[in-house]
Amino acid sequence: MTPAYLRCISSGCGKVFPLASSRFACENCGSLLDVAYEFAPVEPAALRKLWRERLGSEDPRDQSGVWRFRELLPFLAPTAVPVTLGEGGTPLVEAPRTGRWAGGVRIWAKHLGANPTGSFKDLGMTACISAAVANGARVVACASTGNTSSSMAAYAARAGLAAVMFVPFQAIAAAKLAQAVEFGARVIEVRGSFDDAFRLLRAVAARSALHLVNSTNPFRLEGQKTAVAEILEQRGWRAPDFLALPGGNLGNVSAMGKGLRELVALGVMDRAPRLAVVQAEGAAPFYKHWKTGEPIQPVEHPETEASAIRIGRPANWPKARRELEWTGGMVESVTDGEIEEAKAALASDGIGCEPASAASVAGVRKLCRAGRIPAGADVCVILTGHQLKDPDYILRRRERFEAARVVIDADEEAARRALEALLPA
């Protein structure tokens, strides 16, 4: 079995801890932890062939787009049964109209909103909850803007665990809250921001039996990193030029960068795409840090309609910076108006997503206009959540909603006039 352990990410520390440790920060220096492995040499072609052959398997692990790549996840004992809902296996769809709109690039959308609970969080949660079960956890908890809590609740229910969520009061989409409640989660609403909820949860968890499943839990990132293996496999192991992601707590870019590093180290791929992280302008502490080089300054009152990335204190920023530096990556910020335009551009290709997802596309357009992504580039964008995660966002645009509908009596002439009004020549 591949040796696996927890390791401090600080180059000046590097302290190692056992996998069964309940800590998710270094007791020596306070830095974040990685799940680290001592991979044995592999034959890359044979590994790629094995992963492909598993697509036809009836083994529940192989029907998961996470555990099908389990050679990348050797933290779980070979005899252990993972907690899975068949996550992964999500589509990679070309978006030609969106590519032209963005600046004459070729855009491929990896839609992680097609996961069981409608967001990319399921990729991390299957790994995180499986590790929690292996370590004897009974109650899992998270702070959330919505997607993490609904995913946690589903996987906790699957595993027979209790689940508690700390959320900002009246600041998450009703659809996401409804999901979590239906799966049996208990809800604590905090009058404040996500960052207030997360701070409070960590303080309480330190003195209780709560097992935290936010992205500071390194096992979350282990599941999420498999998305890049799936993307590369869907592309015949040809890396795109750029991989663009929305940035909130920065766990996703941290995970995917780690996955790319491991795939390159194993020889499964020969080069990595440049990572591009896009934050909403009203919640962009990492963008400002990257642009100025100054110490990261939290945003005390983050503001954006893209609620999934309305985070002012991104916990994973050191990991995100590490991965961006390794890939020669970029960071951008976009306004809510630019996010709305990008969401509409994707819709013209028949692709729906929650607002935060569209930030990645808005960022690509901005980077194209600045000449940092050249025309003709091959770009993969990560769409993190399903279109119906936040239906109120669409309904709030009343002018578009009203322009798309009319109400008529059950009359043939009225139907003809309605068609003429809605579909002018």
Output the tens digit of pLDDT for each of the chain's 425 residues.
Answer: 789 999 999 989 999 999 987 678 999 999 999 999 999 999 999 999 999 999 999 999 999 999 999 999 999 988 899 999 999 999 999 999 999 999 999 999 999 999 999 999 999 999 999 999 999 999 999 999 889 999 999 999 999 999 999 999 988 888 889 999 999 999 999 999 989 999 999 898 878 889 999 999 999 999 999 999 999 999 999 999 999 999 999 999 999 999 999 999 999 999 999 999 999 999 999 999 999 999 999 999 999 999 999 999 999 999 999 999 999 999 999 999 999 999 999 999 999 999 999 999 999 999 999 999 999 999 999 999 999 988 888 777 766 666 677 887 888 998 888 888 888 76
Q: Which residues contact 12 (CB under 8 A, 6 or more apart)?
A: 29
Confidence at residue 403, expressed as pLDDT on a 0 to 100 scale: 66
Q: Which residues contact 101 (CB under 8 A, 6 or more apart)?
A: 345, 348, 365
User: Residues 64, 69, 74, 76: what is their CA dihedral angle, to the nearest 10 degrees?
Assistant: 0
* Four-residue CA torsion sign, 204, 209, 213, 218: positive
Confidence at residue 325, expressed as pLDDT on a 0 to 100 scale: 98
> What is the C-alpha separation between 316 and 313, in angstroms, rounded?
9
Residue 381 is classified by DSSP as E
Q: Where are the alpha helices (DSSP H) in 247-327?
A: 251-266, 285-292, 317-327
> What is the C-alpha separation between 123 and 60, in angstroms, rounded?
15
Confidence at residue 398, expressed as pLDDT on a 0 to 100 scale: 60
Confidence at residue 29, expressed as pLDDT on a 0 to 100 scale: 94
Phi and psi at 239, nearest 5°, equal -70, 140
- The beta strands (E) that lie in 285-350 are given as 330-334
> What is the C-alpha separation between 80 and 76, in angstroms, rounded?
6
Q: Which residues contact 281 (CB under 8 A, 6 or more apart)?
A: 304, 333, 334, 335, 336
Confidence at residue 425, expressed as pLDDT on a 0 to 100 scale: 64
Confidence at residue 208, expressed as pLDDT on a 0 to 100 scale: 84
Confidence at residue 405, expressed as pLDDT on a 0 to 100 scale: 78
> What is the C-alpha separation between 112 and 374, in angstroms, rounded?
26
For 146: left if phi > 0, alpha if psi spans -120 to 50, otherwise beta; the answer is left
Confidence at residue 150, expressed as pLDDT on a 0 to 100 scale: 96
Q: Which CATH number fits domain 92-118+220-398: 1.10.760.10, 3.40.50.1100, 3.30.830.10, 3.30.1540.20?
A: 3.40.50.1100
Number of neighbours of residue 41 by Cβ within 10 angstroms: 7
Position of tokens 């996550």? Answer: 87
Q: Among residues 237, 309, 325, 334, which one has the least CA distance to residue 275?
A: 325
> What is the C-alpha separation between 349 and 347, in angstroms, rounded?
5
Q: Which residues contact 372 (CB under 8 A, 6 or more apart)?
A: 330
> What is the C-alpha separation between 372 and 366, in angstroms, rounded?
9
> What is the C-alpha separation between 119 and 175, in angstroms, rounded?
13
Reduce the DSSP state of residue 9 to 3 states and report it: coil
> What is the C-alpha separation between 299 and 333, in angstroms, rounded?
14
* Tally of residues, the chain: 425
Which residue type does 12 have?
G
31 has which bridge partners?
A: none
Helices (H) and strands (E) in the chain — how many of each? 16, 13
Position of tokens 């034959």? Answer: 43
